[in-house]
Amino acid sequence: MLTRSRRPRRPPLQALLALGAGLLFAGLLGVAPAAAATAEPAPSASAPAEGTGFSVGGTIANGDEPVEGAEILVEGDGFSEVATTDDEGVWRVQVPAQGSYTSTLDVDTLPEGVEPRDPDNVMRTSNLNTTPNANVLFPMGESTIQGTSIWDTVLTRLIYGINFGLMLALAAIGISLIFGTTGLNNFAHGELLTFGALISFFLTAVLGWSIWAAIAVTLVASAAFGWFHDAAIFKPLRRRRVGLVQAMIVTIGLSIVLRYVFLMIFGGRTEFIQTGFNQVVPIGPANLQASSLISMGISVVVLAAVALFLTKTRIGKATRAVSDNAALAAASGIDVDRIIRIVWVLGATLTGLSGILYGVFRGVSWIMGFQILLLLFAAVTLGGLGSAFGALVGAIIIGLVTELSTLWLPADLRFATALIILILILLLRPQGILGRRERIG
């Protein structure tokens, strides 16, 4: 999925704004919280049809080239009409009523050199009993899966999976460290990731900085943001002896606040951070972007540095001591509040970096962090709550599962698969892979 989404897809800004305004108007009529949820980028749903309210349509593209002038015959229940694709490859037919309709692609109308992926099967049936607007797919060109052997595909997915897993690991370790030292499940952690991505996008795309300078400044900004979280919110809460469940709900509120602030500033669009490293590097059968390799390199180096920090330095050891038993650590002379402050700063910095990488490969949007939050929690839970190394292992597993599952399952179910794996593993090992059981009595 990485190569595909790598290419900037710019949804028409006005359309998004119009959609937003429409939703807000709907809010006035009393559906707003639901509408807020719908403001998350919806998969390219068919535009509501005018007229009868029922329609069949779709988009035909050869790779990324829209196919213009292809004809599709739509039939059903005495109705028949031919649709032609426009210059964006889009076609749609209004049909009179609910029911079952067949769409047949006329192969002769395809331009020279464009062929259906499966030329023997160009007829599709859609059922309009459950939905007013059906989308019909006619894939063109050689299927990427058929062209290469299964092992090549597996290898490609494996590499993407590891890359994604490493990216997740950076942010997951942040969550894990914070949970370990404070016991807090931070539902606003995703917003730290969005923050990093937004800053870096602003520096590169708006100010035109080089990616390296942008990364450096973003990391500093993320660190400051983490410091601010602790200094302005969580330390005062600890002072007030606010319970953990309460604090967790505070993070839910914080997540809502930050997300909508991001939305107000950035709008509903999705943009990509440009790195300039677009060379293709073949590694075996997998064609990787140079940026993917650099990203993996950065992740590995940073993760190794974090591991060294936690195991070798005084502060790192103190951090683990606080995770183990904060009261005891305090009694043995460790300044727990200082350690927690350091953990917030470190966690936010790592998460900001993860946000930059995510913004390069999967795009920057106001909701990105929230969308990825669950995968982060899944990674941390899988590894065992509070264990930094567990978070790393869990993140790699989640990364691999999301990518490898697309070999067998539809791509739009890959996050679901990762979450199902989470539940299955917890069935077998309720304390997570590297977690410890709690003491009773």
Ligand X SMILES: Nc1ncnc2c1ncn2[C@@H]1O[C@H](COP(=O)(O)OP(=O)(O)OP(=O)(O)O)[C@@H](O)[C@H]1O
Residues in 422-441 that interact with ligand X by CB under 6 A: 437, 439
Contacting another protein (CB under 8 A), which of 3, 27, 75, 81?
27
Q: Which does 277 bind (CB under 5 to 8 A by kind): another protein, ligand X, none?
A: none
**Interaction of residue 381 with another protein, rule CB under 8 A:** yes
**Interaction of residue 333 with another protein, rule CB under 8 A:** no
281 to 320: interface string for another protein, x by CB under 8 A? ------------------------------x-----x--x
* Closest to 382 measured CA to CA, from 424, 324, 343: 424
Dist CA 227 CA 375 (whole Å): 24
Q: Which does 34 bind (CB under 5 to 8 A by kind): ligand X, another protein, none?
A: another protein
In contact, 199 and 369? CB cutoff 8 Å: no
CB of 45 to another protein, least distance (A): 5
Neighbouring CB atoms inside 10 A of 223's CB total 18
Tokens of 3: 């190569």
Nearer of residues 291 and 366 to another protein, judged by Cβ: 366
Count each helix (H run) and each strand (E run) in the chain, helices first: 16, 11
In contact, 101 and 129? CB cutoff 8 Å: no
Nearer of residues 163 and 255 to another protein, judged by Cβ: 255
CA dihedral 374, 176, 188, 263 (to 10 degrees): -70
- 189-201 and 244-266 helices cross at what angle (nearest 10)? 20
**Residues facing 135 on adjacent strands:** 57
**Residues facing 123 on adjacent strands:** 104
**Interaction of residue 340 with another protein, rule CB under 8 A:** no
How many residues bind ligand X (CB under 6 A)? The answer is 2
Contacting another protein (CB under 8 A), which of 15, 34, 145, 281?
34
Nearer of residues 312 and 439 to ligand X, judged by Cβ: 439
CB of 416 to another protein, least distance (A): 4
* Closest to 372 measured CA to CA, from 357, 388, 383, 384: 357
Which residues, other chains included, contact 131 with Cβ-Cβ below 8 Å and sequence gap of 6+? Answer: none
Q: How far is CA 425 from CA 85, 256, 428, 432, in A?
A: 47, 30, 5, 7
Which residues, other chains included, contact 203 with Cβ-Cβ below 8 Å and sequence gap of 6+? Answer: 209, 213, 214, 217, 218
Tokens of 18: 């119009």
Which residues, other chains included, contact 389 with Cβ-Cβ below 8 Å and sequence gap of 6+? Answer: 307, 383, 434
Contacting another protein (CB under 8 A), which of 90, 154, 205, 426?
426
CB of 218 to ligand X, least distance (A): 41
Nearer of residues 174 and 384 to ligand X, judged by Cβ: 384
Nearer of residues 164 and 370 to another protein, judged by Cβ: 370
Q: Which does 40 bind (CB under 5 to 8 A by kind): another protein, ligand X, none?
A: another protein
**Interaction of residue 239 with ligand X, rule CB under 6 A:** no
Dihedrals phi, psi of 183, to nearest 5 degrees: 75, 10
CB of 180 to ligand X, least distance (A): 17
138 to 167: interface string for another protein, x by CB under 8 A? ------------------------------
- Helix ranges restricted to H, 362-410: 368-383, 388-404
Positions in 396-425 near another protein (CB under 8 A): 410, 412-413, 415-416, 419-420, 422-423
Q: For residue 10, give the DSSP letter.
A: -
Q: Which does 146 bind (CB under 5 to 8 A by kind): ligand X, another protein, none?
A: none
Positions in 371-430 near ligand X (CB under 6 A): none
Positions in 57-116 near another protein (CB under 8 A): 98
How many residues bind another protein (CB under 8 A)? The answer is 84
With residue 337 as reference, give the H or E element that holds it: helix 336-361
CB of 141 to another protein, least distance (A): 19
Nearer of residues 12 and 430 to ligand X, judged by Cβ: 430
**Interaction of residue 240 with another protein, rule CB under 8 A:** yes
Tokens of 395: 């993140």
Nearer of residues 203 and 321 to ligand X, judged by Cβ: 321
Site residues (vs ligand X, CB under 6 A): 437, 439
